[in-house]
C-alpha cells in the first residue's frame, strides 16, 4: 500500500476532527469568546500586536493562526475568571497572546520574546502594562520553573496566556500545527510516524499543568479530544505505510 502524502494525511486529520464535537470551552463560553473577539476588533493595542506578528511568518507551526487563537482564548479566559468588567486585563491578554511566540526561532524563545516586546510596545502601552505582558510571555513555556509573580493581575495574565497556548495541544495540534511544522521542516510521513509516540507522551504530560480555574476546567477536555484524534490519525498513518 502506498503511504499517504503529508497533504493526504492532513486532509484525513481534518475529516476525522469534523466527526467529533468541538471542545467544551467553545460551546460553553461563547459569551466570553464573543467579548474577546469584539475587543480584538476595536482595540488599538491589539491591532498593533496583531499587525506586528503578521510580519513574522511561520516558525515551526507557530504562526499567525496559532497566535490569533491563543490571543482570543487568553482574553476569554480573563473574562471567565474576572467577569465582563476587566477589559483592561483582557486587552493585555490579546497583546500577549499575539506576541508570545515573536522570538520562536530563537533558543529560549520565551525569554527572548519577553525582551523583544518591551521596546516594541514602548509607544503603545504604559510601562506597567508592558512589564506584565513581558513577564507573561517569559512564563508561558511548559515543564520549566515558574517565574515568580507577586501581582494578582500579572499572575492571572501569565496563567491565562499559558492555558490558552496549551489549549492548542488538543485538536489544533493534529489539524494544523503538525502540518505547518512538517512544511517548515520538510518532514515526511515516515518521519512523523517515527516520532509520533514521543509527541503523544508530551501532550499527555501537559494535561495536568493548566493554571487557571478555567484552564483546569476545560484544558483536559482539549487534551483528551486531541489524544482521541491523534490516536485515530496514527492508526490511519500506520495502516497506510
* Residue boundaries of the structural domains of the chain: 6-240
Q: How confident is the model at residue 180 (pLDDT cuts 50, 70, 90)?
A: confident
Amino acid 20: pLDDT: 83
Amino acid 240: pLDDT: 78
d(CA 99, CA 109): 11
Buried b (16+ CB within 10 A) or exposed e, 18-39: eeeeebebeeebeebbebbeeb
Average pLDDT, the chain: 93
d(CA 176, CA 61): 8
Give the lowest-confidence range in 60-74, 112-126, 226-240. 60-74
What percentage of the chain has pLDDT greater than the value 90? 79
Measure CA 184 to chain center: 18
Amino acid 59: pLDDT: 60
Start-to-end Cα distance in the chain: 7
Q: How confident is the model at residue 60 (pLDDT cuts 50, 70, 90)?
A: low
Q: Has residue 138 got a pLDDT over 90? A: yes
Amino acid 19: pLDDT: 87
Question: According to CATH, what is the number of the domain 6-240?
Answer: 1.10.3210.10
Reading the block at residue 214, the C-alpha cell is: 478555567
Q: How confident is the model at residue 223 (pLDDT cuts 50, 70, 90)?
A: very high
Q: Has residue 56 got a pLDDT over 80? A: no
Q: Has residue 6 got a pLDDT over 70? A: yes
Amino acid 236: pLDDT: 94
d(CA 109, CA 74): 19
Mean pLDDT score, 21-29: 96
Mean pLDDT score, 187-204: 92
Q: Provide CB contacts within 8 A for 147, sequence distance 6+.
A: 135, 138, 139, 158
Q: Has residue 222 got a pLDDT over 60? A: yes
Mean pLDDT score, 63-86: 94
Burial degree of 134 (CB within 10 A; 0-12, 13-18, 19+)? buried
Higher pLDDT, 48 or 20: 48
Using an 8 Å Cβ cutoff, are 229 and 223 in contact?
no
Using an 8 Å Cβ cutoff, are 133 and 88 in contact?
no
Mean pLDDT score, 107-128: 95
Amino acid at each position: 500500500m502506498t503511504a499517504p502524502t503529508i497533504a493526504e494525511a492532513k486532509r484525513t486529520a481534518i475529516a476525522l476532527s469534523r466527526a467529533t464535537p468541538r471542545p467544551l470551552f467553545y460551546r460553553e463560553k461563547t459569551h466570553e469568546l464573543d467579548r474577546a473577539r469584539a475587543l480584538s476588533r476595536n482595540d488599538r493595542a491589539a491591532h498593533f500586536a496583531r499587525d506586528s506578528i503578521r510580519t513574522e511568518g511561520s516558525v515551526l507551526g507557530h504562526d499567525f493562526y496559532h497566535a490569533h487563537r491563543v490571543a482570543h482564548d487568553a482574553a476569554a479566559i480573563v473574562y471567565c475568571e474576572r467577569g465582563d468588567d476587566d477589559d483592561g486585563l483582557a486587552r493585555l491578554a490579546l497583546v500577549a497572546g499575539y506576541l508570545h511566540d515573536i522570538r520562536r526561532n530563537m533558543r529560549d524563545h520565551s525569554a527572548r520574546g519577553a525582551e523583544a516586546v518591551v521596546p516594541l510596545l514602548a509607544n503603545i502601552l504604559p510601562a506597567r502594562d508592558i512589564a506584565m505582558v513581558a513577564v507573561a510571555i517569559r512564563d508561558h513555556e511548559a515543564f520549566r520553573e515558574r517565574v515568580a509573580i507577586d501581582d494578582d493581575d500579572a499572575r492571572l495574565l501569565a496563567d491565562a496566556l499559558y492555558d490558552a497556548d496549551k489549549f492548542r495541544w488538543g485538536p489544533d495540534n493534529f489539524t494544523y500545527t503538525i502540518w505547518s511544522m512538517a512544511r517548515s521542516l520538510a518532514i515526511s510521513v515516515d518521519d512523523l510516524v517515527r516520532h509520533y509516540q514521543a509527541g503523544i507522551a508530551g501532550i499527555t504530560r501537559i494535561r495536568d499543568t493548566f493554571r487557571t480555574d478555567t484552564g483546569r476546567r476545560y484544558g483536559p477536555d482539549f487534551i483528551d479530544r486531541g489524544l482521541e484524534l491523534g490516536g485515530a490519525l496514527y492508526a490511519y498513518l500506520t495502516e497506510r505505510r
